A and B are shown apart, each in its own frame.
Chain A
Amino acid sequence: MQKEYDVIVVGAGPAGSMAARFAAEKGVSVLMLEKDRDVGYPVRCGEAISKAGVEEFIQSDDKWIAARISKFSFNAPDGSEVIIEFGEAGYVLERRIFDYELARTAADAGADILTRAYVNGLLFDDDGKVSGVKYEYHGEQKEIKCKVVIAADGVESRVGRWAGLKTHIDFRDMESAVQITAANIPVDQNTLYFFFGKNVAPNGYFWIFPKGHNKANIGLGISGIIGKKKSAQSFLDDFMNKHYPNAPILTKIAGGVPCSITLDKISAPGIMLVGDAARQVNPLSGGGIASGMIGGSIAGRIAAEAILMNKLDHILTYDKAWSDRLGKRHEIFNRIKEGIYNFSDEKFNSIAHSLLKIPIEKRTLGRVFSVALWNNPSLLLDIAKVFVI
């Protein structure tokens, strides 16, 4: 370990690892700090991702692919099931291995990595620019200086706050989630299942994502508005008691998914925010692995450029680079989410019935959304934009 670094990344999830890797690949010195004992564990994630989202960053590898996905199944409250077929569209990951491999690519690029290093404060120079981090390691309080801090500290997003950025998320936009990985769940191993309705996951959705050999991630996320009255845990218990009362449970985990648009500001002098910490999750699907990796890669590249040019103000161009790549699109997804989440059970049912009239070979996600929004014309324009951009 060096005494000082060009870049310090806080958090070793997918966004942090890509920030570390893309900065290190440009030849600047990078240290990535992870608060937990392990990179990639515990896994707080449904683990589904598109193939394209993965392959922008790492070659697909069977050792972290738990299931290959070629179908979506949307389930309405009355039990109507609409299946959409793709080619091989995506994967359910084994994230404890996947995250490890991502961190390994950062290490290959030259980044140093330290686990069990809990960052609990920032250092500032005389001008108020962030100039390093304070952290606890093996019970000792330490400090280390750097030119740029990249905060990849996840849903908590405290590092950005310490730099004066407003990172806390409205409790209505936080999807509080709980998930089990269960065995003996005899669902199709190439299909992602989504369930909608006020009894299963109001203002959110319930999922069953296969993980091979009849294992599956089963969970849901609900807005804090719903959580006020009934917790995610309670919805999960109801579903499992009804459908799989005797399923052996291999893992149970809680988590939060920030389903909002990206923060107003994701950079400030000496600091950049990436991944969940920047609220870079796709607010419609709740998927954050691919978008976090994209955010991380942009931030890592820009941080390195700024250091190599000796022009640290350059990091402030990150906000626009992110917005152009995905941020603007997430604003549209967020409006669609707000439209869909307010649908009544009757509306979900009638949408499913309309979709079932379309022959399966002609069903596409685009058509699903067009039908879904037929009753909500103000959103049609937004939909059109999604498929034009």
Chain B
Amino acid sequence: MEYRQAKTGKLMIEILPDRCDFCGCCVGVCPEDAIELKEAEIFIIDPRCTNCAKCVWSCPIEVIKFNKNGIPK
């Protein structure tokens, strides 16, 4: 299995775009500017992410998940 690569190894953060409200909480708390957010489009900039999970904790509607096994490509 091939995995998406974060700055610190395997990427373990996953945003579920179909359920996202594009509110920007996660972007505001991200220390690495690793989340791109447009009007109705959101994604992680993999090589910047450090898997710190602050975005997971600050999402008001549980749309960001932490998966320690890594996110497949």
Specify which of B31, B54, B60 is in contact with A177 (CB 8 Å cutoff).
B60
Q: Which chain A positions have C-beta within 8 A of B57?
A: 171, 224-225, 227-228
Q: Is the CB of A227 within 8 A of B59?
A: yes
A283 to chain B, nearest CB (A): 14
Assuming the contacts A118-B39, A158-B33, asked whether A256 and B54 have C-beta atoms less than 8 A apart, the reply is no
B residues 23-67 in Cβ contact with A at 8 Å: 23-25, 27-31, 33, 37-39, 54, 57-62
- CB pair B39 A174 closer than 8 Å: no
Residues of A within 8 Å of B28, CB to CB, are: 155-157, 168-169, 174, 256, 258
Contacts of B61 in A (CB 8 A): 178, 231-233, 254
The CA of A36 and the CA of B27, in the complex, are separated in Å by: 16
Given A154-B24, A256-B24, are A231 and B60 also a contact pair (CB < 8 Å)? yes
Q: A156-B37, A233-B62 are in contact. Are A171 and B24 (CB under 8 A)?
A: no
Q: Out of B23, B30, B31, name the residue touching A253 (CB < 8 Å).
A: B23
Give B13 Cβ to nearest chain A Cβ, in Å.
14
Q: How large is the interface on B (under 10, 10 to 19, 20 to 34, 35 or more residues)?
A: 20 to 34
* CB <8 Å contact, A176 and B33: no
Q: List residues of chain A with CB within 8 A of the CB of B33.
A: 158, 161, 168
Once bound together, how far apart are the Cα atoms of A254 and B59, in whole Å? 9
Bound-state CA distance A254–B63 (Å) is: 11
Contact B60 A232 (CB under 8 A): yes
Complex Cα gap A255–B29 (Å): 13
**A35 touching B59, Cβ below 8 Å:** no
The answer to whether A254 and B58 have CB atoms under 8 Å apart is no
Residues of chain B lying within 8 A (CB to CB) of residue A347: none
Interface residue SS majority, chain A: mixed
Min CB–CB distance B30 → chain A (angstroms): 6
User: Which of B21, B29, B39 has a CB less than 8 Å from the CB of A169?
Assistant: B29
Which residues in B have their C-beta under 8 angstroms from that of A168?
A: 28-31, 33
A157, A224, A253, A258 pick with most chain B CB within 10 angstroms:
A224
Note all chain B residues with C-beta closer than 8 A to A255: 23-25, 60
Report whether over half of chain B's contact residues are helix, strand or loop; otherwise say mixed. Answer: loop
Contact yes or no, A116 B25, CB < 8 A: no
Q: Does A37 contact B (CB under 8 A)?
A: yes
Q: Which residue of B lies closest to A227 (CB)?
A: B57
| A227 neighbours in B (Cβ, 8 Å) | 57-60
Closest chain B CB from A13 CB (angstroms) = 12
Asked, given contacts A224-B57, A227-B60, whether A254 binds B25 with beta carbons under 8 Å apart, the answer is: yes
- Is there a chain B Cβ closer than 8 Å to A170's Cβ? yes
A169-B28, A224-B29, A256-B28 known; A44+B58 contact, CB < 8 A: no
| Separation of A232 and B62 alpha carbons in the complex (Å) | 9
CB distance from B65 to the nearest CB of A (A): 12
The answer to whether A171 and B54 touch across the interface, beta carbons within 8 angstroms, is yes
Q: A158, A174, A253: which contacts B29 (Cβ < 8 A)?
A: A174
Instruction: List A contacts of B29 (CB < 8 A).
Output: 168-171, 174, 224, 256
Nearest CB in chain A: distance from B12 CB, A: 16
Chain A residues, CB < 8 A from B25: 155, 174, 176, 254-256
Q: Which of B28, B59, B60 has the most CB atoms of chain A within a 10 A radius of its CB?
A: B60
Do A118 and B60 touch across chains, with their CB atoms under 8 A apart? no
Contact with B along A342-371 (1 / 0, CB 8 A): 000000000000000000000000000000
CB-based nearest A residue for B20: A254
**Complex: how many Å from CA A35 to CA B41?**
12
* Residue contact A231 to B62, C-beta cutoff 8 Å: yes
Residues of A within 8 A of B (CB): 35-37, 44, 116, 118, 154-158, 161, 168-171, 174, 176-178, 224-225, 227-228, 231-234, 253-256, 258
- B: residues with CB less than 8 A from A are 21, 23-25, 27-31, 33, 37-39, 54, 57-62
Q: Would you list 30 pairs from A and B whose C-beta atoms are within 8 A, ordered by A residue? A: A36-B39, A155-B27, A155-B28, A156-B28, A158-B27, A161-B33, A168-B28, A168-B29, A168-B33, A169-B29, A171-B54, A171-B57, A171-B58, A174-B28, A174-B58, A176-B59, A224-B54, A227-B57, A231-B61, A231-B62, A232-B60, A253-B23, A254-B25, A254-B61, A255-B25, A255-B60, A256-B23, A256-B24, A256-B25, A256-B29
